[in-house]
């Protein structure tokens, strides 16, 4: 009888702990951050320049031990904590040009202000492997960002982690360039950038966006100067 009673008390304590953890994530301050990586679904697009947003989500999730393996609002989705900061991770499966369908739905479902959203995307205006963290901006002719802004009702007040992939060589069609896989040297730069991005994003969760962006972008500025004249 006593053994059963103590087993019951232990089970009740575990259940209570799980309920408190879940309630903390959903209801208590601070609000979760939503990290969204842009890309195209399917093996055909894996490893292409246009999919570095997906890769950034994967790198961050792996580093923090967060599973990204459920479906939510048309995205592959995961949630967890970094320290005391609750975090949502998403890779929209709508294809790039409709990324906002998923991103907008997630932000609305979790009742998030846009200053708690960071979108990761490829950027041809930065040298390959250079990152930039910004608190807002336009779409820069990026169709995924266009869709996100549209589904945020034209509001551009959300942060972005821009991941440099460089410009297409010569007269190459930009669309073809985006859907190509990286060559060996560019792949090495991107892999390094992903790890730098992980550290920058951890800083955002611990220190907030403004201070983190200032420190992170200063470091990336010197990398930009060093890499901008190097071929990819």
Instruction: Tell me the catalytic residues.
Output: 50
**Rounded Cα distance, 141 and 131, in Å:** 18
Structure tokens of 53?
């947003």
DSSP string, 21-75: HHHHHHHSSSPPEEEEE----SGGGTTBGGGHHHHHHHHHHHHHT----EEETTE
Residues 148, 119: Cα–Cα separation, whole Å? 9
At residue 82, the 3 state secondary structure works out as strand
User: Using CA atoms, how far apart are residues 77 and 204, in angstroms rounded to an integer?
Assistant: 20
How would you class 204 by CB atoms within 10 Å of its CB: exposed for 0-12, middle for 13-18, buried for 19 or more? buried
């Amino acid at each position: 009888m006593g053994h059963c009673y103590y087993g019951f008390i232990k089970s009740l304590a575990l259940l209570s702990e799980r309920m408190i953890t879940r309630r903390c994530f959903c209801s208590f301050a601070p609000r979760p951050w939503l990290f969204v990586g842009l890309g195209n679904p399917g093996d055909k697009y894996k490893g292409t320049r246009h999919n570095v947003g997906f890769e950034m989500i994967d790198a961050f999730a792996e580093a923090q031990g967060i599973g990204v393996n459920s479906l939510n609002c048309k995205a592959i989705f995961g949630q967890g904590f970094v320290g005391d900061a609750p975090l949502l991770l998403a890779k929209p499966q709508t294809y790039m040009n409709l990324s906002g369908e998923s991103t907008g739905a997630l932000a609305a479902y979790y009742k998030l202000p846009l200053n708690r959203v960071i979108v990761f995307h490829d950027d041809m205006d930065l040298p390959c492997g250079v990152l930039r963290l910004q608190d807002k901006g336009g779409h820069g002719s990026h169709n995924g960002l266009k869709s996100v802004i549209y589904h945020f009702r034209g509001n551009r007040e959300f942060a972005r982690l821009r991941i440099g992939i460089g410009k297409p060589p010569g007269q190459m069609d930009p669309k073809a360039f985006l859907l190509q896989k990286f060559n060996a040297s560019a792949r090495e730069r991107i892999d390094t950038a992903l790890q730098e991005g992980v550290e920058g994003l951890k800083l955002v969760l611990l220190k907030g966006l403004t201070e983190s962006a200032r420190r992170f972008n200063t470091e990336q500025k010197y990398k930009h100067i060093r890499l901008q004249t190097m071929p990819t």
